[in-house]
Structure 1
Amino acid sequence: MDFQAYRDIAWNGVWKQNTGVVQILGLCPILAVSNNIVNAVSLGLATILVMALSNLAISALRNFIPYEIRIPVFILIIAALTTVVDLTFNAYLHELYLVLGIFIPLIVTNCIVLARVEAFAAKNEPGSSTIDGIAMGIGLTLVLAVLGAMREVVGSGTLLSGIDMLFPGAQPISLFGDDYPGFLVAILPPGAFIALGCLIAGRNWLEARKLARAHRAAAIAPDTPAEAG
Structure 2
Amino acid sequence: MATKSLKDISLDGLWKNNPALVQLLGLCPLLAVTGSVVNALGLGLATMMVLVGSNLSVSLIRNHVSDAVRLPAFVMIIASFVTVAELTMQAFTYELYEVLGIFIPLIVTNCAILGRADAFASKNPILPSVVDGVMMAIGFTVVLVLLGALREVLGQGQIFGNMELLFGPSAADWKIVLVESYPDFLFAILPPGAFVGMGLLIALKNLIDDRIDKAAAAKAAPVEAGSKRVRVTGKIS
TM range (shorter): over 0.9
Taking the TM superposition and a 5 Å limit, the aligned residue runs for 1:13-32 are 13-32=13-32
Match of 2:155 in 1: 155
Cα distance in 2 for partners of 1:141, 1:226 equals 49
For residue 209 of structure 2, give the secondary structure of its aligned residue in structure 1. Answer: helix
Match of 1:224 in 2: 227
Q: Deviations over 1:154-198 (max 9, x none)?
A: 000011121121221513211111x21121100111000000000
Taking the TM superposition and a 5 Å limit, the aligned residue runs for 1:1-229 are 5-166=5-166, 167-169=168-170, 170-171=172-173, 172-177=175-180, 179-221=181-223, 222-224=225-227, 227=230
Output the amino acid matched with 2:182: Y
For residue 63 of structure 1, give the secondary structure of its aligned residue in structure 2. Answer: coil
Cα distance in 2 for partners of 1:223, 1:112 equals 45
Cα distance in 2 for partners of 1:57, 1:194 equals 37
Deviation at 1:135, TM superposition (A): 0.5
Deviation at 1:226, TM superposition (A): 7.5
Instruction: Name the TM-score, length of structure 1 as normaliser.
Output: 0.94
- Which piece of structure 1 moves more, 66-75 or 157-166? 157-166
Cα distance in 2 for partners of 1:135, 1:73 equals 23
Cα distance in 2 for partners of 1:10, 1:184 equals 37
Deviation at 1:214, TM superposition (A): 1.2
Output the amino acid matched with 1:121: A
Cα distance in 2 for partners of 1:15, 1:97 equals 29
Cα distance in 1 for partners of 2:202, 2:46 equals 23
Cα distance in 2 for partners of 1:22, 1:154 equals 25
Cα distance in 1 for partners of 2:149, 2:28 equals 18
Q: Deviations over 1:19-48 (max 9, x none)?
A: 111111111011001000110011001101
CA RMSD of aligned residues (A): 1.6
The structure 1 segments of at least 4 consecutive aligned residues displaced by more than 3 Å after TM superposition are 225-229
Output the amino acid matched with 1:7: K
Larger radius of gyration: 2
Unpaired runs of at least 5, structure 1: none
Output the amino acid matched with 2:198: L
Unpaired runs of at least 5, structure 2: none
Deviation at 1:223, TM superposition (A): 4.0
Output the amino acid matched with 1:191: G
Tell me the matched-pair count: 225
Instruction: Name the TM-score, length of structure 2 as normaliser.
Output: 0.91
Cα distance in 2 for partners of 1:180, 1:82 equals 38
Deviation at 1:224, TM superposition (A): 2.2
